[in-house]
Structure 1
Amino acid sequence: MMRNMAGKRLSLHGNEIYVEESGSGDTAVVFESGAGAGRTLWDAVVPLLGDVATTVAYDRAGRGRSGRAEPPQRIDDMADTLVALIEALAPNRVILVAHSMGGLIVRRAADKLAPSLAGLVLIDPTPETAPNYDDWAPTARKTDRILAVQQFLARSRPLMRVLTRSYGRMFAPATYDTMLREDFTPAGLTHTRHEIRAVASAITEFRSRPPELPTCDVTLITSSRANRLQSRNHDIIREYQRRYGESVGAHIEDADSEHIVPAERPEQVAAAVRRLLGG
């Protein structure tokens, strides 16, 4: 199982970043997770690509096995670290695969990566222009309060197993156990709170200073289902995801999944990458 993989640490953009590489190929596929997740989000996807590409999954600064990030990172800081990672490990040809908040990071990073950027796969990305983000501050504060409670409760791993049982159903046991040790801990949830604040700031920043539209091929995968907490704005988010996809000429497809598409539909994610690889 992938959790036996040996990783390495790199000093990038002033941060110690933990990276896991596997597979082989002239093109590197680099994965960028959404808020609250690290390299383990991609455990079901990575093995499906090792025969056609070099895969790179990593923990952002402050998350998982990477070093602490001081001060808390902005989306632009995360993008700069991603660019440094690619320059170190994949300077010739890269495909970026991003989930949720990770879409903001890779879109900002894409500005600095041409001509090595061969494609983007955006999976249920955060569409900053959607009207439900016009006054997102109250939602961000409510989310922070929920995470603060979870941060306190995370002192008890048995309790966190109960609170995160949906992840236990979606991910393989070895992956889920790693998430419990790294992400669903007081330190991990503290960093998730920082990431949610970074998203809140990025909404305004992206609206006033949007990234350049990517010139590479783009695939956009949207989740067709929503859980109870996400259902209110699901249709709006899908609409604005599609609007962005149409603005860049993306190949757009639905996933029969809720938000965590890499866990529920890993074969679909891998197929999207393979199409960009030309095979």
Structure 2
Amino acid sequence: MTVVFEAGAADSRSSWALVQLRVAAFARTVVYDRSGLGRSAPNPAERTLDRMADDLNDLLDASPPGPLILVGHSAGGPIVRLAASRRPDRIAGLVLVDPTDELVGILFSRAFRLGERAVLQFNRVLARLGLLRRLYQWQLDAMPAPDVRTELGEEGFTPGVVRTHAAQARTFLNELATWRQRPPDLGEIPVTVISGTRPGDGLSSRARAQTNTAHAARAAVSPRGRHVLAETSSHYVPFTDPELIAAEIHRLTGAP
């Protein structure tokens, strides 16, 4: 069994360090950087959801043979859903960690889109000044080893990362909106959805409630769906509750 991790919108492979460390005890693990993030070079083509799912499937084609479990956090959730729908024969399960979901209506409001643009502009300025990492010092402090902390600090908060995030954001929500009528078909693939329970990390109490309702509905669509609450977490569950994620992956692998 191989477990492949897909990070959130502006995150690199390092965001999975705490979870990967635990999962590696019972399964083969693969982390990677999408184009323009971490150690991967930028891609001049549009960073559409469709393209990112194809890139993931290209990676899976080169992965060790055997059943695959895909794990996606935040914006990585739709990416693994779309990739899995295109090659369901090789997917043994999905774990969606506080995923972005088309059933969350607030994502498509004018206020949310304006807020997203404002945050991106603010982050551009901070990244140019070398200050963006200070906002996320808590993530660096959570890293399990000095080398991982150094890599995240050097790769995670640069102007290039913000440019990639902005390139993804140009089309992401528009593509996701089309799924409200025709979502990717996952067939019989088991789906576990893990939700944070606390507001914060950009989610108000209202947005958190709407998000978790959508997550419960997403899990219910799967014939073997499961909705799990991360009681001590807001959005960044891979940093704040890695044991819970690892436990859900372990359950899907069927490992002893």
TM-score, scaled relative to structure 2: 0.91
The residue number in structure 2 matching 1:76 is: 50
Q: Which runs of 4+ in 1 moved over 6 A?
A: none
C-alpha deviation, 1:103, in angstroms: 0.9
Q: Does residue 234 of structure 1 match 2:236?
A: no
Q: In the alignment, is residue 213 of structure 1 matched against residue 198 of structure 2?
A: no
Matched, 1:168 2:144: no
Q: Which one has the bigger strand percentage?
A: 1
Paired residues of 1:140 and 1:196 also in contact (CA < 8 A): no
1:154 aligns with 2:130: no
For 1:115 and 1:228, how far apart are their aligned partners in 2? 36
Give the secondary-structure state (helix, strand or coil) at the position aligned to 2:229.
Answer: strand
1:260 & 1:109 partners in 2: Cα distance?
A: 23
1:83-133 deviation per Cα after TM superposition (whole angstroms, max 9, x unaligned): 111111134210001111111011111112222111111111112022213
- 1:239 & 1:58 partners in 2: Cα distance? 30
For structure 1, the 5+ residue unaligned runs are: 1-26
After the TM superposition, which residues 85-124 of structure 1 pair with which residues of structure 2 at under 5 Å, given as runs?
85-124=59-98
- Whether contact under 8 Å (2:8, 2:72) holds in the other structure is yes
For structure 2, the residue ranges without an aligned partner over 5 or more in a row are: none
1:140 pairs with one of 102, 110, 113: 113
| Structure (1 or 2) with the greater helix fraction | 2
- Distance in 1 separating the partners of 2:19 and 2:125: 32
Q: How many residue pairs were aligned? A: 251
For residue 182 of structure 1, report the CA deviation from its aligned partner: 1.4
Which amino acid in the other structure matches residue 168 of structure 2? E
Cα 1:213–1:137 shift into 2, 3 Å: farther
* 1:252 counterpart (212, 223, 227): 227
* Residue-by-residue CA offset, 1:62-91 (whole Å, 9 max, x unaligned): 211112111221111000111111111134
1:177 to partner: Cα distance: 3.4
Q: 2:149 & 2:10 partners in 1: Cα distance?
A: 13
Distance 1:92 1:229, change over 3 A: closer
Q: CA RMSD in A?
A: 1.8
Asked if the contact 1:28–1:56 (Cα under 8 Å) also holds between the matched residues in 2, the reply is yes
- Greater relative contact order (CA < 8 Å, ≥ 6 in sequence): 2
Identity in percent: 33
Matched residue SS, 1:71 = coil
